[in-house]
A and B are shown apart, each in its own frame.
Chain A
């Protein structure tokens, strides 16, 4: 191919509409045309963390002008009255529980949906919600991991000890290895709750078309096929009568992979009943208290190591707070328990976790999905070993690395996709060397001295991770070359800002030899690609990228077959350049045919629709001795294929940061941030770097600012952007130095690995390492064991440390 787009920083095609204010997000759908006819939903949510519902009085609600419908659980029947699906069952999830679309008898967190109202506009709907009276009988709330473990009170009466699941995995005899090791350490490590918090919350619009008996649902989701299947099952509709379209999505970061949300079912049900378009748009407070959170875990580590710092045995126990329900199964703690190992190969490893119920918002994956916690645990352990042996932190890591000649490397565990945790490729020593160069690791002592002379305290830290990306089961793609010569591509997973329309077009343009501008990509529309899984686990480039590549290859094969026939040449001698098929090395020699004509010829016609298409009509084309469409062929110039890998690909990376901590105020300032990143081959470096920059910013939030402040009664005290401290530009590093290492994955045709989540994974670990290092000279032995860390917490740590060392 002459002009290869793979690997180029192509400007994004989707930006043109976003920049003009012409994006179509879910709250924009059907505004204007049918907007006048549209109804709006609002939800009554529990103000209590744990209570029995004694009575709900909705009388007077329908009297309000403009109110069309009010539902409580009593109004639901059939599958709609059953609990929501448990999406990912697991044999160890012995006590999985999911909520009802509207609470039945009991509420288990502040924010749980109790009643659903539809009215002329959202203002009136909220007025109506205000008229509903609920009588509660209070139950003692269980908040936080300590309370859940103590189990003095239960979240669900039928779940003993508040334990939803217990899962243990072991490779080797870790406890024996630790007992026999020359050195041992134990650590207790905590990570707080945080959340995805996309700028756009959840939202759903539904239209029932009575003329054709068809439901169309637009929803801000990370899986349109998942929502579609759940909707058909819950509403008792044939799958073929349900279309789910994911419009532009204003960020996801994991939270929108969970489905179906109560509103995702109630809105379509109401639209069908009322025969009107119904819309629900979540507001910011609702997003905080009624979507999902992540990250809250407490860990205990036992480690045994030799004089070099080599880990001989590692035994990790942890407790995962999954909130009130478990719709997403055990994915997050399984990811922690496996990905904790990072680029290292401990002699023996045992991990056991309990997944616990609390009366708080449920927990589903947030960008990183359990890896930030795992990375924090492993990297804190590495730092502790280095401190115990008086060694450089990079040296301890280096002796534990899996070496480049050891791939594929089997960690001997089962990963979140049910497959072996087997790393496909990587070069960790090379990454570490690049990171040290990039951040100036070896020169840092000099910098520290210089700064100390000015009375300033600085510290440096690093953290390494491995990320299983591109999990299965599969994705598919459809490529259609139309008779205009334009190429229409559809893949089923959804897009939340990753630039899929650009990168997939790059892949297709390369394969088909067509101008980039002629390729148009649609994602997340079940009408265009009904078989798909979704966007999570950094899987889009790997899964849909590969599927799009394979589908385009199929279309190309057909192009060449038809063109070879028309040009009386052999397929192997043909090439496609700028949308024209010609004999290789002889462009312009006359023997050529453009894709438009090939597309026309691919579909034998009885009826012409323009001049060009006359070439495909029955008296113009075809061998009268053969059927117009060969037995094993299909009309049209299309390619469809699926990509389903045996297991995940494993991306990796390392971050380093230099921080300054104020000796008086304990303020924490970022001086330098460096990233070395290996996601295999890069389709569009500009987009990959954007993903890293965004991930790092979220990581900074998670490490230094963001937490969910629950009080003991289960009220979320900071459920607004005023109080939940998401970073502004003033909180993020001014520059991020990025270096890419490209170790191609052998598992897919593009050699790519996922890149979406990487930026956020090592943040808590890298900041803990650097802040501890900065504090070292003034507070020797001060250890950071809990993240995030605010200036006041660091201040407090210093005080405690000073008192203890007196």
Chain B
């Protein structure tokens, strides 16, 4: 008894990848194990922690709650896609580095993608907005204080630079 496989094309960080996967393969597993994009992490596999958050057509989505086969027609951005083409950190990443917004780093990719989309909608968040923006993601290490600071810092960096980060480019088009 072997499983039926489907040929699907996943567009991730602007690159098309062809993979053969069974219907039940989670998008998170396809990204990590089939494409080797291990920056997306899995903390619960039931949609609660947010570590697996990626941007699907610019909107944050939990890749552990999606099948790979249902992502065929979408453009996906993972944490790897937030780094600028020249290898420097995007504004949200840079803000986390400056504000000590991470410790073990396991939850971080989910926060980075979530905030990237959040700032596209609310480019000048108040502290309350910033808290709201990350209120669906779990972090066991930082106590969130520095993550909230990072959101505000990222907004400032984004403003100053005027060049939108790769993730936001996508959601604005």
Q: Of A27, A250, A726, A728, which is within 8 A of B105 by CB? A: A250
Residues of B within 8 A of A698 (CB): 140, 143
Chain A nearest CB, measured from B80 CB (Å): 4
Closest chain B residue to A689, Cβ basis:
B100
Chain A contacts of B96 at CB under 8 A?
15, 19
Which residues of the partner chain A approach B106 to less than 8 Å between Cβ atoms?
23, 25, 198-200, 250-251
Band of interface residues on B: 35 or more
Query: Across the A-B interface, how many residue pairs have beta carbons closer than 8 Å?
Result: 182
**Chain A residues touching B, majority SS:** loop
Bound-state Cα–Cα, A199 to B50, Å: 10
In the complex, what residues of B have CB within 8 A of residue A11's CB? 97-98, 100
Distance to closest chain A CB from B115 (angstroms): 12
| Given known A284-B44, A693-B146, A735-B145, contact A200–B38 (CB-CB < 8 A) | no
Residue B27 at the chain A interface, CB threshold 8 Å: no
**Cβ–Cβ contact B134 & A722, under 8 A:** no
Q: A711 CA to B146 CA in the complex, in Å?
A: 38
* Cβ-defined contact, B137 with A248, below 8 A: no
For A284, give its contact among B43, B89, B148 (CB under 8 Å). B43
B93 touches A728 (CB 8 A): no
Is A690 a contact of B142 with CB atoms below 8 Å? Answer: yes
Q: Which residues of B contact A14 (CB under 8 A)?
A: 105
* Any A CB within 8 A of the CB of B103: yes
Q: Which of B46, B97, B112, B136 is A720 in contact with, Cβ under 8 Å?
A: B46
Tally of contact residues, A, Cβ under 8 A: 62
Instruction: Say whether B140 contacts A199, CB under 8 Å.
Output: yes
Tell me whether B72 is interfacial, beta carbon within 8 Å: no
- A66 near B: Cβ within 8 Å? yes
Flag A46-72 by CB within 8 Å of B: 1 or 0 each. 000000000000000000111000000
Q: Which of B1-39 contact A (CB under 8 A)?
A: 1-2, 22, 24-25, 29, 32-33, 36-39
Do residues A693 and B40 form an inter-chain contact, with CB atoms below 8 A? no
B83 sits at the interface (CB 8 A): yes
Is A253 at the interface (CB under 8 A from chain B)?
yes
Residues of A within 8 A of B93 (CB): 19-20
Name which residue of chain B comes closest to A281, CB basis.
Answer: B42
Residue of B32, B40, B108, B135 near A728 (CB, 8 A) is B135
Q: Is A499 at the interface (CB under 8 A from chain B)? A: yes
Chain A: which residue is nearest B147 at the CB level? A729
Minimum CB–CB distance for A24 against chain B, Å: 8
- Smallest CB–CB gap between A211 and chain B, Å? 25
Is the CB–CB distance between B108 and A19 below 8 Å?
yes
Closest to A690 in B: B100
Please name the residue on chain B nearest to A691 by beta carbon.
Answer: B103
Q: A21 touching B97 by the CB < 8 A rule?
A: no
The reply to whether the CB of A721 lies closer than 8 angstroms to some CB of chain B is: yes
* Chain B 116-173 residues near chain A, CB threshold 8 A: 127, 131, 134-148
Docked complex Cα distance between A734 and B152 (Å):
14
| Shortest Cβ distance from residue A682 to the other chain B in the assembled complex, whole angstroms | 14
- Residues in B with CB closer than 8 Å to A498 are 103
Q: How far in angstroms is the closest Cβ of chain B from A524?
A: 13
Residues of B within 8 A of A776 (CB): none
**Bound form: Cα–Cα A496–B106 in Å:** 10
Q: Which of chain A's residues have a CB closer than 8 A to the CB of B83?
A: 19-21
Tell me how far the C-beta of A679 lies from the nearest C-beta in chain B, rounded to whole angstroms: 17
Closest residue of chain A to B13 (Cβ to Cβ) is A21
Do residues B102 and A18 form an inter-chain contact, with CB atoms below 8 A? yes
Choose one: B41, B78, B102, B147; the contact of A200 (CB below 8 Å): B41
Inter-chain contacts of A284 with B (CB < 8 A): 43-46
B144 near A732 with CB under 8 A, answer: yes
Taking A15-B105, A199-B43 as contacts, is the C-beta distance between A35 and B142 under 8 angstroms?
Answer: no
Which B residues are CB-close (under 8 A) to A730? 131, 135
B26 to chain A minimum Cβ distance, whole angstroms, is: 9
Q: Is chain B's interface secondary structure helix, strand, loop, or mixed overall? A: loop
Residue of A nearest to B136 (CB): A728
Whether B143 lies near A721 (C-beta < 8 A) is no
Tell me, rounded to whole Å, the shortest Cβ–Cβ distance linking A60 to chain B.
11
B1 engages A65 (CB within 8 Å): yes
Complex Cα spacing A285 to B142, Å:
23
Assess the A721–B49 pair: CB atoms within 8 A. Answer: yes
- Contact among B24, B108, B135, B145 with A123 in the assembled complex (CB-CB below 8 Å): B24
Docked complex Cα distance between A722 and B38 (Å): 25
Residue A736 lies at the interface, judged by CB distance under 8 Å to chain B: yes
Q: What separation, in Å, do the CA atoms of A198 and B106 have in the docked complex? A: 9
Residues of chain A lying within 8 A (CB to CB) of residue B79? 19-21
Given known contacts A198-B106, A728-B138, A19 and B143 CB-to-CB distance under 8 angstroms: no
The residue that B112 contacts in the complex, of A19, A35, A694, A735, with Cβ under 8 A, is A19
Is B100 in contact with A199, judged by CB distance below 8 angstroms?
no
The reply on A299 being an interface residue by CB < 8 A is no
- Do B38 and A736 touch across chains, with their CB atoms under 8 A apart? no
A759 to B: closest C-beta gap in Å: 8
A122 → B minimal CB distance (Å): 8
Within 8 Å by CB of A248, from B33, B78, B105, B144, lies B105
Which of B29, B82, B104, B143 is the one whose CB lies under 8 Å from A199?
B104
CB <8 Å contact, A497 and B143: no
* Known contacts A12-B97, A728-B138, A729-B144; is-contact A497 B104 (Cβ 8 Å): yes
Q: Do A686 and B44 touch across chains, with their CB atoms under 8 A apart?
A: no
Measured CB to CB, the nearest residue on chain B to A65 is B2
Chain B residues whose C-beta falls within 8 Å of the C-beta of A22 in the assembled complex: 39, 80
Whether, in the assembled complex, A340 has its beta carbon less than 8 Å from a beta carbon of chain B, the answer is no
Task: Please give the distance in Å from A176's CB to the nearest CB on chain B.
Answer: 45
Say whether, besides A25-B106, A65-B1, A729-B134, A31 and B38 are in contact (CB < 8 Å). yes
Q: Is the CB of B42 within 8 A of A27?
A: yes
Q: How far is the CB of B102 from chain A (nearest CB, A)?
A: 6
Given contacts A12-B100, A250-B105, A497-B105, contact A20 B80 (CB under 8 A): yes
Residues of B near A250 (CB, < 8 A) are 41, 43, 104-107
**Contact between A721 and B104, CB atoms less than 8 A apart:** no
CB-defined interface of A239-276 with B at 8 Å, one 1/0 digit per residue?
00000000011110100000000000000000000000
CB neighbors of B among A266-296 (8 A): 283-284
Is A694's CB under 8 angstroms from B100's CB? no
A197 on interface, CB distance cutoff 8 Å: yes
A697 to B148: give the CA distance in the assembly, Å: 14
Question: A32 contacts the other chain (Cβ, under 8 Å)?
Answer: yes
Distance of B50 from chain A, by nearest CB (Å): 9
The answer, among A687, A696, A726, for a CB contact under 8 Å with B140, is A726
Q: Which residues of A contact B108 (CB under 8 A)?
A: 18-19
- For A746-764 the 0/1 string (1 means CB < 8 A from B) is 0000000000000100000
Q: List 27 A-B contacts (CB under 8 A).
A: A16-B89, A21-B38, A21-B83, A22-B39, A35-B33, A123-B24, A123-B25, A199-B138, A199-B139, A250-B105, A251-B106, A253-B140, A284-B44, A284-B46, A499-B103, A686-B100, A687-B100, A690-B103, A691-B103, A693-B146, A694-B140, A695-B143, A697-B143, A722-B48, A729-B134, A732-B144, A736-B145
Q: Give the top 7 A-B pairs by smallest Cβ distance, nearest first.
A: A21-B39, A250-B106, A497-B104, A18-B105, A697-B143, A497-B103, A693-B143
Given A15-B105, A250-B105, A697-B144, 5 additional A-B pairs, CB 8 A = A65-B2, A251-B106, A284-B45, A693-B145, A698-B143
- Residue numbers of B with Cβ under 8 A of A are 1-2, 22, 24-25, 29, 32-33, 36-46, 48-49, 51, 78-80, 82-83, 89, 93, 96-98, 100, 102-109, 112, 127, 131, 134-148
